[in-house]
Structure 1
Amino acid sequence: MPNRTRTRTPSRPAPATPAAPTAPGRLRGPLPILAAAVLWGTTGTASSLAPAGAPPAVLGAAALVLGGLLLFLSSRDARALPGACTRGERRLLALGAVAVVGYPLTFYPAVTRTGVAVSTVIALGSAPVFTGLLGWIAGRQLPGTRWAVATAAAVLGCAVLVLGPGLTGAGAPVDLLGVLLAALSGLSYAAYSLIGGALIARGHASGGVMGAMFGAAAVLVLPVLVFGGGPWLVSLRGAAVVLHLAVITTFLAYRLFGHGLRRTTAQTATTLTLAEPAVAALLGVAVLGERLPAVSWSGLGILAAGLALLAFG
């Protein structure tokens, strides 16, 4: 994410306001968010190419360690940010790092217990709702009607798209603990999105905020990689998959995500990232030869309509 000069404000910052109501100006925030979602959408396809002995949680930890360190080391603002923050802001950074770690530590066990489809819908679908509620609890107003309608449509479309292939047959039983873990991963995503957006709104560089949070998260999750890694990590295929997940879906994606948070609220951003399962589904069709039933294509259309309403409305 491009860096910008920090301006410290001793009082409560005013929310960012678009300079003009032109379409290009409105899209400066949504477009980087959607671009990040496109990159995140490659995660499933890339992960499917990992060696058979690669545990999903360790694969995610490896991507977070390398990607988080890249975010931290590539931004001078990230290294300077803790010293430039107030005590309260440093607490926010620490909480954001814990939330970043919380996502993979809850999402991957959820996938193991209740499956990829259900976990994805619950995690991504609950994140915008948690973001709206947490923002309201933190003292901000609830998002408007357009956000609510667009989010409802996007969540519905996401659910139909992802769960569509299982609607015509007997699906796997839904595990209650798995559902809870998936919801916690959505809460974690909502938390670090809100924290990142709040710190960026206070004048801190987006690259610095994302670099500091993910750099600290990389240190916290390092033991998972150290004690859970194996020979697959140093194989050609394993290293290639980890590099893709670290550079593309962590480093580049979160640079774009942070850049988009400069002009987009966290509530809107988490809804826009529901584009991720759409990209993953299309890649599965184009690259892996998967087939989607008609109901999933209908869900894709509903999801696209909700995102278009939010980005272009």
Structure 2
Amino acid sequence: MKAFFHSLDAMRQGSIAILFASVLWGTTGTVASFAPNISPLAIGAFSMGVAGLLLGLFFRRHIRNDWRKLTQRPVLLAIGAFSLAIYPLAFYTSMRLAGVAVGTVISIASAPFFAVIIEKTFGNAPALTTRWVLSAIVGTIGIALLAVSETSHGKDTVQNASLLLGISLGLVAALAYTLYAWVAKQLIQHDVNAKSAMGSIFLLGALLLLPSLYFTGQHLFSTVTNALVVSYMALIPMFLGYVCFGFGLSFVNTSKATLLTLFEPVVAAILAVVIVGELISPFGWLGMAMISFCLLVQASEKQTLAQ
């Protein structure tokens, strides 16, 4: 395995790491379905909060070595930490109000476009290639088809007001996700180690998130199943997933990274079919094929590391 990674260029190593993180993140919906009595806010705050503490401890040596560089950019750190804290709260509330499929689709599919806007506004990103634009269009259409497929098999009808609020919160989650990924990338480009960047953002975000469990975390450990669910969510998709994501950001720009995470809803849909027993129409399978095509195009595209 080590020889395999050494044979790949840096861009492809980063892409593979982000895709692996997306696979782990794609398991969260299925795993959370085994603990329906836990508030989605509690799941988000606990999993991201505990993972943030673990990442901070795991990367403490790197954070200590880069402490002076990190404190020279307090505004960036604050934006990153605040965005990290907002993301799981907005994301899981969006899924509760608009439905899992719609909330996930809005949060993930709109992230690449927020990434482009942010990079164009605050960075020196080069012009988008035709390849990027076409793959983004294909991927977005695919994820929309997947959402329509899943929601068409839903049993509950979401009220219009709740749906609109859920969609709005999905957009907030996408913006928050993109912002903390962009902040991490900016810190890396300012000679901060990738582990220091991710560890510091997650540690500060955890300090903002964990106090909310006082109001929402009543059932986290009320049963063995609940305890296993939240422990898995914190340790595997969040902790290990973001270790991989941080590694990938060392070699991949924010807009490409957010496109690669479109693999997450594909994994989530497959697990929903195999484990939960949900049905996906032919349009859904077509959507997954389109997303896979988008991923292949993005993973094979070479971009400069300076972005």
Note if contact 2:20-2:241 (Cα within 8 Å) is conserved in structure 1.
yes
Residue by residue over 1:169-199, the C-alpha shift from the partner in whole angstroms, topping out at 9 and shown as x without a partner, is 9964543222211111100011011111111
Residue by residue over 1:36-58, the C-alpha shift from the partner in whole angstroms, topping out at 9 and shown as x without a partner, is 000000010110111x4211111
1:244 aligns with 2:232: yes
Specify the alignment match of 1:105 in structure 2.
Answer: 89
Specify the alignment match of 1:166 in structure 2.
Answer: 151
Specify the alignment match of 1:254 in structure 2.
Answer: 242
Note if contact 1:77-1:207 (Cα within 8 Å) is conserved in structure 2.
no
1:151 aligns with 2:139: no
Distance 1:82 1:98, change over 3 A: farther
Specify the alignment match of 1:296 in structure 2.
Answer: 284
Worse-matched range after superposition: 102-111 or 208-217: 102-111
1:34 aligns with 2:19: yes
Give the whole-Å Cα distance in 2 for the aligned partners of 1:77 and 1:93: 18
Deviation at 1:81, TM superposition (A): 5.9
Which of 124, 129, 151 aligns to 2:108? It is 124
Note if contact 1:33-1:269 (Cα within 8 Å) is conserved in structure 2.
yes
Residue by residue over 1:62-84, the C-alpha shift from the partner in whole angstroms, topping out at 9 and shown as x without a partner, is 11121111100011245416732
1:47 aligns with 2:35: no
Specify the alignment match of 1:4 in structure 2.
Answer: none
SS at match of 1:264: coil
Give the whole-Å Cα distance in 2 for the aligned partners of 1:119 and 1:88: 36
Deviation at 1:291, TM superposition (A): 2.3
Sequence identity percentage: 35
Which of 242, 251, 254 aligns to 1:266? It is 254
1:92 aligns with 2:80: no
Note if contact 2:17-2:245 (Cα within 8 Å) is conserved in structure 1.
yes
Deviation at 1:238, TM superposition (A): 1.2
Give the whole-Å Cα distance in 1 for the aligned partners of 2:85 and 2:62: 18
Structure 2 spans left out of the alignment, 5+ residues: 1-6, 302-307
Deviation at 1:270, TM superposition (A): 0.4
Deviation at 1:162, TM superposition (A): 2.3
Instruction: Give the structure-2-normalised TM-score.
Output: 0.88
1:57 aligns with 2:41: yes
Which of 76, 93, 96 aligns to 2:60? It is 76
The letter for the 2-side match of 1:122 is I
1:210 aligns with 2:198: yes
Give the whole-Å Cα distance in 2 for the aligned partners of 1:66 and 1:119: 23
Deviation at 1:86, TM superposition (A): 5.5
Note if contact 2:63-2:196 (Cα within 8 Å) is conserved in structure 1.
yes
SS at match of 2:73: helix
Give the whole-Å Cα distance in 2 for the aligned partners of 1:184 and 1:246: 22
Give the whole-Å Cα distance in 2 for the aligned partners of 1:221 and 1:41: 22
Residue by residue over 1:143-173, the C-alpha shift from the partner in whole angstroms, topping out at 9 and shown as x without a partner, is 3222211111111111111221335899645
Give the whole-Å Cα distance in 2 for the aligned partners of 1:107 and 1:219: 19
Note if contact 1:153-1:303 (Cα within 8 Å) is conserved in structure 2.
yes
Spell out structure 1 runs of 4+ moving beyond 6 A: none
Instruction: Give the structure-1-normalised TM-score.
Output: 0.87
Residue by residue over 1:96-117, the C-alpha shift from the partner in whole angstroms, topping out at 9 and shown as x without a partner, is 0100011122122222222122
Distance 1:189 1:232, change over 3 A: closer
Give the whole-Å Cα distance in 1 for the aligned partners of 2:122 and 2:255: 13
Note if contact 2:47-2:234 (Cα within 8 Å) is conserved in structure 1.
yes
Which of 95, 100, 124 aligns to 1:140? It is 124
Specify the alignment match of 1:15 in structure 2.
Answer: none
Distance 1:203 1:108, change over 3 A: same
Note if contact 1:162-1:277 (Cα within 8 Å) is conserved in structure 2.
no
Deviation at 1:311, TM superposition (A): 0.6
